[in-house]
Chains A and B, each alone.
Chain A
Amino acid sequence: MKTQLTALAVAAAFAAGPAAADLVFPSLDYRTGPYAPNGIPVADGYADYFTLLNERDGGIGGIRARVLPCETGYNTEKGVECYEATKGQNALVYQPLSTGITYQLIPKASADGIPIHSMGYGRTSAADGTTFEWVFNYPANYWDGASIAVKHILDLNGGNIGGKKIALVYHNSAYGKEPIRTLEELSGKYGFELTLLPVDHPGQEQKSQWLQIRRERPDYVLMWGWGVMNQVAIQEAANIRYPMENFIGIWWSGSENDVEPVGGKATGYKALALTAPGRDFPIYEDLERYVYSKGLSAGAGDQHGKVLYNRGLYAAMLAAEAAKKAQEIHGVSDITAAQMRDGMEALEITDRLMASLGLPGFAPPFSVSCENHGGSGRAAVQQWNASSGSWSLVTDYIKSESGVIQPLIEADASAFARENNISKRCN
């Protein structure tokens, strides 16, 4: 009898759960495995922002937002399982936080009519909205990142880097290989010498790569790393006394978790940044009041103000703003995934909007259009100071060289369109 009652209660709970109309934001996050140190802050920030919206504003346009967490462990098979498990629950947008899973989901989600927002990762050519109707990667992509890093190096050298040596230490996966095409192009244009040093998953073993760097003494080292690989690389760079200010990571290789384990020797390490670091923003007062003090923070609640936590907030903010836009366009509050897509395509982030959200100066303005799903392609360079334990922006938001990148994006997108018989949109 008792078991029957329990079974009934469980069944009732199941039936009652999804019935309430919510705006569902699946969070394919990873709090376990070798990428967990980086996965946790992003997932926490993503969840906390929606909690804030629910607690402070009663949701988005009067409808509560529901974050649907699903642990992927950065593993594509689990990512597929998570996608299949959550897509039926009116999922509005997927942010897989893994380039491998993004590649996996691009065809599936496009067929199912659910947008994907791979913010600063995933398939670079998805910036071409004429081919990739359901995929967005604003505000910047890997090729932007490569170009911005090279531009920064150009600035440091008075515009001439002919004959300089630049090494790329990269995660030997789709993610790490993304910038190579752009860097090769730029190397031809500016006459620098490019050395490629792949690091295999998960990246704990990098002795040989850094031995080579020690031998060849490249003038600059770029890094496309993630998870434990970042810490190991920065440690190895410190071990061979590589000048840290010449070591520049992509925005996924520049969080506190990456530099703190190395201690004082990490001072001077640079990384690109999509948003400003730190917690000197009015939104943190609201978070404190509506989320943290009520004990509603996601996870252990120890990531507030970290770079990747801010990244999670930013990702959630962009999703929420797109949802608002979609509600505005379609005049309904309970939007569908297809309407969400329209909202994302009409998204316009201005300085005024950012200020009204409590994030003045947090990130550069950009807008999305039918043709351009990639945003403005701007990022800043931030530098680590171990004694104060903080990142600080050392440049303005640099715009990538679209003259180099746009033809590459168009070529790759056209190849994808040909392979998959996609006809171009937006005309």
Chain B
Amino acid sequence: MIYREAGDFKTNYREDGRTFPIRFDRWAYFATLAVAFLVVPFVINDYWANAVLLPFLIYAIATLGLNILTGYCGQVSLGTGGFMAVGAYACYKLMTGFPDVNIVFHVILAGGITAAVGVLFGLPSLRIKGFYLAVATLAAQFFLVWLFNRVGWFYNYSASGQINAPTRTVFGVEVTGPTTSAWATYLFCLVFVVICAWLARNMTRGSLGRKWMAIRDMDIAAEIIGVNPLGAKLTAFAVSSFFVGISGALFFAVYLGAVEVGEVFGIQKSFLVLFMIIIGGLGSILGSFAGAAFLVLLPVFLKNVLTGTLGWPTDLAAHIEFMIVGALICAFLIFEPHGLAQLWRLTKEKLRTWPFPY
């Protein structure tokens, strides 16, 4: 009923190879984009932007990045927080060092710098795998946080070690700094999210993504059929870190505006993003968004329900919130180990044949 696929024919390879081969999916995709670009900016307020949508969008980019590395290429990484910090500090140094260059280029360059750092820390992945690689990336996490805390050059020798985003504009509209309007920051991040998701989707569908998946499924077999593990793993690290770097740059410049590396980009950030891809679904673009949404929106939603509507004390609500989120994570892992994306895949299969399943 919902999916009416009658008459949805494909007459050439181009149509067959589309990202959304089913017409209904395509429409839903365009409708979502239309709402996100044409409706939300007009109704958004400061609370929705700063407490809900900005963190969701920015975490979605980080999740896409980590999903490429872990979900598609099978390399476990616990260094996400550190790589986000690289993006943030690169963006800060660029913003303060070259104030005349547009912030868009700074964010992209910050992604590039993070990609280079990611490749550097990805080198051990050629020799070690699994848990051992996780530990190696954990070292990256701690090293990077230590570095940004220790070396004054990175925070321009400010007394507190904090970095603060100065005001920058895009087409004359402020997107960073204290006096931004909600719609501007939202749209700025949304553009990055859409481009990143589009890139990620198409890369994972192409030969590069197939190489990554071959490595993930069995690296020796992949090598035998002609996949170069050096190239595949390092491109995965580079692309993943590029996305994570962009998200770190946006996290600092647009969302928080002032950052302290140990507090914001600590190990818990790495785990948070890892939980997002596990809950959302490893190796799925939709899953990246679902996981980010789940872990960003649920705590805010619970907090508002428990303290706002039910009027519970804030500490009780905070503890209950931990318990509910934790219980839900466990429940998801038990009942649907492949994440929210798999849940949607199954639902969609049923919906396509509903109401006459065969």
Docked CA distance A274–B159 (Å): 23
B178 at the interface (CB under 8 A from A): yes
- Let me know if A174 and B315 touch, CB within 8 A: no
B47 at the interface (CB under 8 A from A): yes
B167: chain A residues at CB < 8 Å are 420
Docked CA distance A172–B145 (Å): 11
- Let me know if A71 and B315 touch, CB within 8 A: yes
A178 at the interface (CB under 8 A from B): yes
Given that A85-B51, A107-B178, A172-B149 are known contacts, is A80 also in contact with B256, CB under 8 Å in the complex? yes
- Let me know if B256 and A177 touch, CB within 8 A: no
- Please tell me which one of the listed residues A69, A174, A412 contacts residue B161 in the complex, with CB atoms under 8 A apart: A174
- Binary A-proximity of B151-191 (CB < 8 A = 1, otherwise 0): 00000000111101011000000000111000000000000
B325 at the interface (CB under 8 A from A): no
| Residues of chain A from 80 to 116 with CB closer than 8 A to chain B in the complex | 80-81, 84-85, 87-88, 99-100, 103-104, 106-108, 110-111
B353: chain A residues at CB < 8 Å are none
Given that A123-B160, A173-B263 are known contacts, is A71 also in contact with B46, CB under 8 Å in the complex? no
- Please report the number of residue pairs spanning A and B whose Cβ atoms sit closer than 8 angstroms: 106
- Binary A-proximity of B290-319 (CB < 8 A = 1, otherwise 0): 000000000010011001010001110111
B55: chain A residues at CB < 8 Å are 77
- Please tell me which one of the listed residues B149, B260, B314 contacts residue A29 in the complex, with CB atoms under 8 A apart: B314
- Please tell me which one of the listed residues A10, A31, A107, A180 contacts residue B164 in the complex, with CB atoms under 8 A apart: A107
- Let me know if A99 and B160 touch, CB within 8 A: yes
| Residues of chain A from 157 to 199 with CB closer than 8 A to chain B in the complex | 172-175, 177-178, 180-181, 198
Given that A32-B315, A178-B159 are known contacts, is A84 also in contact with B262, CB under 8 Å in the complex? no
- Let me know if A104 and B159 touch, CB within 8 A: no
The residue on B at minimum CB distance from A85 is B47
- Let me know if A174 and B318 touch, CB within 8 A: no
B337: chain A residues at CB < 8 Å are none
- Let me know if B179 and A71 touch, CB within 8 A: no
B50 at the interface (CB under 8 A from A): yes
The residue on A at minimum CB distance from B166 is A419
B266 at the interface (CB under 8 A from A): yes
| Residues of chain B from 325 to 357 with CB closer than 8 A to chain A in the complex | none
- Binary B-proximity of A31-73 (CB < 8 A = 1, otherwise 0): 1100010001000000000000000000000000000011101
Given that A201-B266, A420-B166 are known contacts, is A107 also in contact with B160, CB under 8 Å in the complex? no
B161: chain A residues at CB < 8 Å are 173-174, 177
Which among A29, A71, A200, A419 has the greatest number of chain B C-beta atoms within 10 A?
Answer: A71
A124 at the interface (CB under 8 A from B): yes
A76 at the interface (CB under 8 A from B): yes
Docked CA distance A99–B258 (Å): 11
Min CB gap A108→B, angstroms: 5
- Let me know if A81 and B50 touch, CB within 8 A: yes
A200: chain B residues at CB < 8 Å are 262
- Binary A-proximity of B138-155 (CB < 8 A = 1, otherwise 0): 000000000001000000
Docked CA distance A32–B317 (Å): 10
Given that A104-B256, A173-B161, A177-B160 are known contacts, is A31 also in contact with B149, CB under 8 Å in the complex? no
Docked CA distance A76–B167 (Å): 20
Docked CA distance A148–B266 (Å): 33
- Let me know if B262 and A103 touch, CB within 8 A: no
The residue on A at minimum CB distance from B165 is A107
The residue on A at minimum CB distance from B142 is A200
B286: chain A residues at CB < 8 Å are none
- Let me know if B160 and A31 touch, CB within 8 A: no
- Let me know if A31 and B314 touch, CB within 8 A: yes
B22 at the interface (CB under 8 A from A): no
Docked CA distance A177–B263 (Å): 14
B258: chain A residues at CB < 8 Å are 76, 103-104, 106-107
A87: chain B residues at CB < 8 Å are 46
- Let me know if A76 and B318 touch, CB within 8 A: no
- Let me know if B266 and A84 touch, CB within 8 A: no
B262: chain A residues at CB < 8 Å are 172-173, 200-201
B264 at the interface (CB under 8 A from A): yes
B257 at the interface (CB under 8 A from A): yes
The residue on B at minimum CB distance from A88 is B47
The residue on A at minimum CB distance from B167 is A420
Which among B55, B149, B260, B266 has the greatest number of chain A C-beta atoms within 10 A?
Answer: B260
Given that A32-B315, A104-B256, A419-B166 are known contacts, is A111 also in contact with B264, CB under 8 Å in the complex? no
Docked CA distance A40–B47 (Å): 26
Min CB gap A9→B, angstroms: 11
Docked CA distance A334–B315 (Å): 30
- Let me know if B178 and A173 touch, CB within 8 A: no
- Let me know if B159 and A412 touch, CB within 8 A: yes
Docked CA distance A291–B300 (Å): 32
Given that A32-B318, A77-B55, A81-B300 are known contacts, is A10 also in contact with B162, CB under 8 Å in the complex? no
- Let me know if A103 and B319 touch, CB within 8 A: no
Docked CA distance A32–B55 (Å): 22
B318: chain A residues at CB < 8 Å are 31-32, 71, 73
B315: chain A residues at CB < 8 Å are 31-32, 36, 40, 71, 299
B322: chain A residues at CB < 8 Å are 32
Given that A76-B264, A84-B50, A108-B178 are known contacts, is A198 also in contact with B309, CB under 8 Å in the complex? no
Docked CA distance A156–B198 (Å): 67
B164: chain A residues at CB < 8 Å are 103, 107, 419
Min CB gap A420→B, angstroms: 7
A181: chain B residues at CB < 8 Å are 159
Docked CA distance A326–B278 (Å): 53
- Let me know if B314 and A100 touch, CB within 8 A: no
The residue on A at minimum CB distance from B264 is A76
Docked CA distance A172–B142 (Å): 13
B307: chain A residues at CB < 8 Å are 70-71
A180: chain B residues at CB < 8 Å are 159
- Let me know if B166 and A100 touch, CB within 8 A: no
- Let me know if B51 and A100 touch, CB within 8 A: no
A73: chain B residues at CB < 8 Å are 318
Min CB gap A364→B, angstroms: 26
Min CB gap A181→B, angstroms: 5
- Let me know if A103 and B260 touch, CB within 8 A: yes
- Please tell me which one of the listed residues A29, A36, A69, A178 contacts residue B160 in the complex, with CB atoms under 8 A apart: A178
A31: chain B residues at CB < 8 Å are 314-315, 318
Min CB gap A309→B, angstroms: 16
Which among B51, B177, B313 has the greatest number of chain A C-beta atoms within 10 A?
Answer: B51
Min CB gap B161→A, angstroms: 5
- Let me know if A111 and B178 touch, CB within 8 A: yes
Q: Can you pick out 10 interface pairs between chain A and chain B where the beta carbons lie within 8 Å of each other?
A: A75-B263, A76-B259, A77-B256, A80-B51, A80-B255, A85-B51, A100-B263, A107-B177, A111-B178, A177-B159
Interface residues of A (CB under 8 A from B): 10, 14, 29, 31-32, 36, 40, 69-71, 73, 75-77, 80-81, 84-85, 87-88, 99-100, 103-104, 106-108, 110-111, 123-125, 172-175, 177-178, 180-181, 198, 200-201, 299, 412, 419-420
Given contacts A108-B178, A111-B179, 14 further A-B pairs with CB under 8 A are A31-B314, A69-B313, A71-B315, A71-B317, A71-B318, A84-B50, A99-B160, A104-B256, A107-B257, A107-B258, A174-B162, A174-B260, A198-B149, A419-B166
